[in-house]
């Protein structure tokens, strides 16, 4: 895959397996596990320095490929709470929303880290 650069998807924690395998979850469980999944993906991307293009278009395509990889490796993964009851268009919209929230969370995390670094390096 173009976004992985020789890496494979991480082995997600045991707690995430029901979400990834398409188990029937309550809305609260799905929301909690979805947030945990985003945290684990962000940690993996940061650890391996993946999807760090200067070009937002390049990053967008790599997040798209990340979504395709997730879909192929975890075909039963429910991108949003509606799960299998969702139409194809709703499913694709949920996938795009998940990836968008992932990218946004990572962008904010990196901006906060950069801000902290600037504050720590400022003359006192």
State the pLDDT confidence band at 48, using cuts at 50, 70 and 90. confident
| Domain residue spans of the chain | 14-121
Q: Provide mean pLDDT across the span 94-100.
A: 84
Of the candidates 72, 80, 67, the one whose C-alpha atom is nearest the C-alpha of residue 19 is 80
Residue 72 and residue 84: Cα distance in Å, rounded?
Answer: 16
pLDDT score at 121: 79
pTM score, whole prediction: 0.80
Tokens standing for 112?
Answer: 């906060």
Tokens standing for 111?
Answer: 């901006």
Taking CB atoms within 8 Å and a gap of at least 24, the contacts of 73-80 are 73/9, 74/20, 74/21, 76/20, 76/21, 76/22, 77/19, 77/20, 77/21, 77/22, 78/19, 78/22, 78/25, 78/30, 80/30
Q: Given CA atoms 70, 55, 38, 79 in this order, what sign does their dihedral have?
A: negative
């Amino acid at each position: 895959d173009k976004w992985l650069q020789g890496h494979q998807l991480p082995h997600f924690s045991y707690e995430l397996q029901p979400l990834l395998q398409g188990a029937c979850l309550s809305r609260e469980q799905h929301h909690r596990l979805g947030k945990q999944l985003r945290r684990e993906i962000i940690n993996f991307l940061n650890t391996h320095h993946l999807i760090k293009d200067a070009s937002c278009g390049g990053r967008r395509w790599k997040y798209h490929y990340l979504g395709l990889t997730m879909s192929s490796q975890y075909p039963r993964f429910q991108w949003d709470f509606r799960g299998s009851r969702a139409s194809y268009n709703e499913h694709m919209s949920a996938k795009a929303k998940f990836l968008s929230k992932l990218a946004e969370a990572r962008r904010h995390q990196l901006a906060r880290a950069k801000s902290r670094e600037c504050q720590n390096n400022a003359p006192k």
